[in-house]
A and B are shown apart, each in its own frame.
Chain A
Amino acid sequence: MSTTYDVSHADLAPTLGARLADGFRVALVSGAEDDDCFRVVYVLVRAGDPPVELALRVPKDEPTIPSLARLDYGTGRFERELRDLYGITPSGHPLPRRLVRHGHWPRGWYPMRRDAGPPPPFDADVGAFPFLEVEGEGVYEIPVGPVHAGMIEPGHFRFSVVGETILRMKARLWFVHRGVEKLFEGRRPGDAVELAERISGDTAVGHTTAFATAVEDALGIEVTERDRLARALLLELERMHNHVADLGALANDVGYGIVNAHALRIRESLLRLNKATTGHRLLRGGVGIGATRIAALPDPATLEAVAAEVIELAEITLGNSIVRDRFTGTAVLGAESARDLGTLGYVARASGIDRDARRDHPFVDLGDRFQVVVETGGDVLARYRVRVREIAVSAAVAGDLVHRLSTGTGTGTGVDSNTAAPGGGHGLGLVEGWRGAIAHRVEMDPSGRLSRVKIVDPSFFNWPALPVALADTIVPDFPLANKSFNQSYAGNDL
């Protein structure tokens, strides 16, 4: 359970700055609307400590907060999100541009406010998209997306290029903003689980576990160790099938198709294993509020066999001198940039940032074979290697978890939250999904319904790292660099 401190406008920056200096990081900034005021909650986390929340009350007639963008880059982006969705203005923000709302969204309409009502009619998206134009002899721009030649999610990338070398890249996201956080409001937690499973389709377990943990934190539900073990197992299964698919896709992006064919075959075997485990190929239906339902435990031998195959596949991939040349030194994200931007997950770990919520904020002991994989190169090769090694760790950890789970009997012993005792309160869920640490913060009203859910996918922190890594990369290497980050559009856009 987190500790909440009320802070005033004047105290906010010094208090938060002191916490940051103590090694805390801002995991989440959530707006909320009360009857008489807005509230902005800053959630700070540090390895081994309970989370700390700073709550700032903002009057409705003059919704302004002091900007902390100069203290913490990620907070600056949360503030822009707050301005777009709640109409709370960060004063003194160094880059007070729209983030979530594209230019053609109606002015003065803030969708997260209680009185927002249904969306007003939108104008055509004809407005200019502001970005820093690079000028000079031979500089030209390449607009890419949001509709791409392949079947990928929508994102617009504006490259300023000399010859084939990228000088600057600006990403425009939020094409798939669905208003997910608003959709949570008013639901009973048990009815919101299926929504959490669909925040980002490839991270069903990660987001659902974070959501369930937050609700359990708010309602004071104790989850049995057995169910926590089962959740850890599902998280590792999710990590494995996503990592395998991306290892194949990275090889495919450099034209090494045979590796992709085999990666897809391995992934298919994992998806079938998932189907047997929870009844769904992408592991939906496993995690519930206060409960974890597993139909059958996967065979640890199968998982170990998959890990062995992946290692062989990685050896074949990196044994190809052309592939290795393409991966090495491409799109380097330095450790300092990675730390300053607050990157998470394998993107951070490939740049030497030792950060993993499984160790820093554990909800269950994963056993002796769990270790945090860190590489220091920061290039495509390092991100590739982190993920290869993480598959091996995941298979080992999952095997141990299966062993511990199979010694007991019965699963799914949790409570059905819809009948759980109602009560106000708030809770936080912090879970290492396959892309990195996912944070959910929920607020409940006294009738037991969700009044506010704030979701942070690691991609929100990691997207700004991509343009930084692209400096001095060549245009034809962009897809490879982008795939090595493989960030979620849906999880970012919400």
Chain B
Amino acid sequence: MSAGAAVVTVGQAAVLVALSPLLVGVMRQVRARLEGRAGAGVLQPWRDLRKLLGKEPLTADGVSWISVAGPLVLVASSLLLCALTPVLGTATLDRVPNDLFVVVAALLIGTVALALVGLDAGTAFGGMGSSRHMTIAALVEPTVLVSVYALSIPVGSSVLSQIVEARLDHPATIWSPVSLLALLGLAIAIVAETARLPIDNPSTHLEVTMVHEAMVLESSGRDLAWLELGSWLRLGALLGLLATLLAPWGVATEVTALGLAVAVGALALKLALIGSLLATVEVFLAKVRLFRVPELLAGSFVLAFLAVTASYLVAS
């Protein structure tokens, strides 16, 4: 089982590395087409990445090792996140279970690394972005934790693989009110965590309105490539998790070549669908006033909290 688990774990990271830039490309392309623009094509994020990786980073005066290490830490934590999210198979390594708390911790490492990169150059925009980013993170991480926790209560385990397996065995639980409340809370939290509308506008050029973009303003070349890839991987892993919880079919419970191939295909399809859906919804959204963001995120936390309460009531 251990070898199979290793294949699944490494495979999840590898497949998400391949798919996440494409997911971003699909989301941008869907949005462009819906707005009546031609769009750059779904491969553009990969082209950008290749271009940036070939470029030497230019660093601002007075930056420390954080500017070099931060992007690498972000990518490493994102890879860990991808490896631990049961998007392909439910087999887990014995020593590194994909426990909910481990996954959220991996997410938080990346969040902090990104904030430190923003602060390192000492510019006003980076600091502003980091400050806003941490404010949002402080509201988002509990929601992620609590909403998945609500799903774990009926299963009796906070290991994501076991939650997914339980959902495969009892598909009816997916449509239970508890599950839907929790998934809605999780979806809003993911939108905030990955800096999408209506929390942040990933395509803005207005520096004083930025959250995520403000933190990466001073980065360039390879450093920027790692920051971009790290952020995209988080988007891929979190949307993959949401899609898997919503539609667990296709995830391999046994490690076989055919099973994994089907799982990869299913994941690609699920990501394309959920990414297109998110991009379509974004067309109709504008960015909320920054001071309204806590209200929105508090709402998502309330949903997740209700889900937890309800699941205890249902269980008892």
Query: Which positions in A face B, CB cutoff 8 Å?
Result: 140-144, 148-151, 164, 251, 253-258, 261-262, 265, 320, 322-323, 325-326, 474-479
Chain A residues contacting B287 (CB-CB under 8 Å) are 254-255, 322, 326
> How distant is A326 from chain B, measured CB to nearest CB, in Å?
6
Structural contact, A251 and B286, CB atoms closer than 8 A: yes
Structural contact, B198 and A142, CB atoms closer than 8 A: no
A265 to B38, CA, bound (A): 13
Chain A residues contacting B284 (CB-CB under 8 Å) are 258, 320
Structural contact, A164 and B286, CB atoms closer than 8 A: no
> How distant is A153 from chain B, measured CB to nearest CB, in Å?
14
> How distant is A423 from chain B, measured CB to nearest CB, in Å?
51
Instruction: Tell me whether B176 is interfacial, beta carbon within 8 Å.
Output: no
Instruction: Tell me whether B316 is interfacial, beta carbon within 8 Å.
Output: no
Chain B residues contacting A149 (CB-CB under 8 Å) are 205-207, 217
> How distant is A268 from chain B, measured CB to nearest CB, in Å?
12
Chain A residues contacting B209 (CB-CB under 8 Å) are 253, 476, 478-479
> How distant is A139 from chain B, measured CB to nearest CB, in Å?
13
Instruction: Tell me whether B285 is interfacial, beta carbon within 8 Å.
Output: yes
A164 to B128, CA, bound (A): 9
Structural contact, B208 and A143, CB atoms closer than 8 A: no
Chain A residues contacting B206 (CB-CB under 8 Å) are 149-150, 253, 479
- Identify which of residues 1-39 in chain B touch chain A, using a CB-to-CB cut-off of 8 Å: 31, 34-37
Structural contact, A142 and B208, CB atoms closer than 8 A: yes
Instruction: Tell me whether B50 is interfacial, beta carbon within 8 Å.
Output: no
Stretch at the interface among B87-95, B183-191, B288-296: B288-296
Nearest CB in chain B to that of A164: its residue: B290
Structural contact, B286 and A323, CB atoms closer than 8 A: yes
Instruction: Tell me whether B124 is interfacial, beta carbon within 8 Å.
Output: yes
Could you show 30 A-B contacts with beta carbons less than 8 Å apart?
A141-B124, A142-B124, A144-B207, A144-B208, A148-B205, A149-B207, A150-B206, A253-B209, A255-B198, A255-B201, A255-B285, A255-B287, A256-B285, A257-B35, A258-B34, A258-B283, A261-B37, A265-B36, A320-B286, A322-B198, A322-B285, A323-B286, A325-B288, A326-B289, A474-B290, A476-B289, A478-B209, A479-B206, A479-B208, A479-B209
> How distant is A449 from chain B, measured CB to nearest CB, in Å?
44
Nearest CB in chain A to that of B204: its residue: A255
A222 to B198, CA, bound (A): 57
Chain B residues contacting A258 (CB-CB under 8 Å) are 34-36, 283-284
Chain B residues contacting A251 (CB-CB under 8 Å) are 286
Structural contact, A255 and B290, CB atoms closer than 8 A: no
Chain A residues contacting B289 (CB-CB under 8 Å) are 325-326, 474, 476-477
> How distant is B80 from chain A, measured CB to nearest CB, in Å?
31
Structural contact, A325 and B292, CB atoms closer than 8 A: yes
> How distant is A251 from chain B, measured CB to nearest CB, in Å?
7
A430 to B283, CA, bound (A): 43
Nearest CB in chain B to that of A478: its residue: B208
A491 to B144, CA, bound (A): 51
Nearest CB in chain B to that of A265: its residue: B36
> How distant is A363 from chain B, measured CB to nearest CB, in Å?
39
> How distant is B199 from chain A, measured CB to nearest CB, in Å?
10
A476-B290 contact, Cβ under 8 Å, with A141-B124, A142-B124, A261-B36: yes
Chain A residues contacting B205 (CB-CB under 8 Å) are 148-151
Chain B residues contacting A479 (CB-CB under 8 Å) are 206, 208-209
Interface code B101-134, partner A: CB below 8 Å = 1, 0 otherwise? 0000000000000000000000011001000000
A274 to B255, CA, bound (A): 66
Instruction: Tell me whether B197 is interfacial, beta carbon within 8 Å.
Output: yes
A475-B208 contact, Cβ under 8 Å, with A255-B197, A325-B292, A326-B286: yes
Chain A residues contacting B31 (CB-CB under 8 Å) are 257
Chain A residues contacting B203 (CB-CB under 8 Å) are 255, 257
Interface code B273-302, partner A: CB below 8 Å = 1, 0 otherwise? 000000000011111111110000000000
Which 5 pairs between the two chains have the least Cβ-Cβ distance?
A150-B205, A255-B287, A255-B201, A479-B206, A256-B286
Structural contact, A476 and B208, CB atoms closer than 8 A: yes
A322 to B198, CA, bound (A): 9
A325 to B198, CA, bound (A): 13
> How distant is A407 from chain B, measured CB to nearest CB, in Å?
39
Chain A residues contacting B217 (CB-CB under 8 Å) are 149
- Identify which of residues 192-224 in chain B touch chain A, using a CB-to-CB cut-off of 8 Å: 197-198, 201, 203-209, 217
Chain B residues contacting A142 (CB-CB under 8 Å) are 124-125, 128, 208
A253 to B36, CA, bound (A): 18
Nearest CB in chain B to that of A257: its residue: B35
A266 to B288, CA, bound (A): 26
A322-B286 contact, Cβ under 8 Å, with A142-B208, A150-B205, A255-B197: yes
Structural contact, B198 and A474, CB atoms closer than 8 A: no
A144 to B287, CA, bound (A): 21
A255 to B284, CA, bound (A): 10
Structural contact, B36 and A475, CB atoms closer than 8 A: no
> How distant is A143 from chain B, measured CB to nearest CB, in Å?
6
Chain B residues contacting A148 (CB-CB under 8 Å) are 205, 207
> How distant is A289 from chain B, measured CB to nearest CB, in Å?
41
List 6 additional contacts besides A144-B207, A320-B284, A326-B288; criterion CB under 8 Å: A257-B203, A257-B283, A261-B35, A322-B287, A325-B289, A326-B286
A474 to B209, CA, bound (A): 10
Interface code B252-290, partner A: CB below 8 Å = 1, 0 otherwise? 000000000000000000000000000000011111111
Give the one of B209, B286, B287 with max A CB within 10 A.
B286
Chain B residues contacting A253 (CB-CB under 8 Å) are 204, 206, 209
Chain B residues contacting A151 (CB-CB under 8 Å) are 205
Chain A residues contacting B197 (CB-CB under 8 Å) are 255
> How distant is B204 from chain A, measured CB to nearest CB, in Å?
7
Nearest CB in chain B to that of A251: its residue: B286
A325 to B288, CA, bound (A): 8
A261 to B31, CA, bound (A): 11
A325 to B292, CA, bound (A): 10
Chain A residues contacting B283 (CB-CB under 8 Å) are 257-258
Chain A residues contacting B124 (CB-CB under 8 Å) are 140-144
A474 to B288, CA, bound (A): 13
Nearest CB in chain A to that of B289: its residue: A326
Chain B residues contacting A255 (CB-CB under 8 Å) are 197-198, 201, 203-204, 285-287
Chain B residues contacting A323 (CB-CB under 8 Å) are 286
A148 to B209, CA, bound (A): 13
A323 to B284, CA, bound (A): 10
> How distant is B131 from chain A, measured CB to nearest CB, in Å?
9
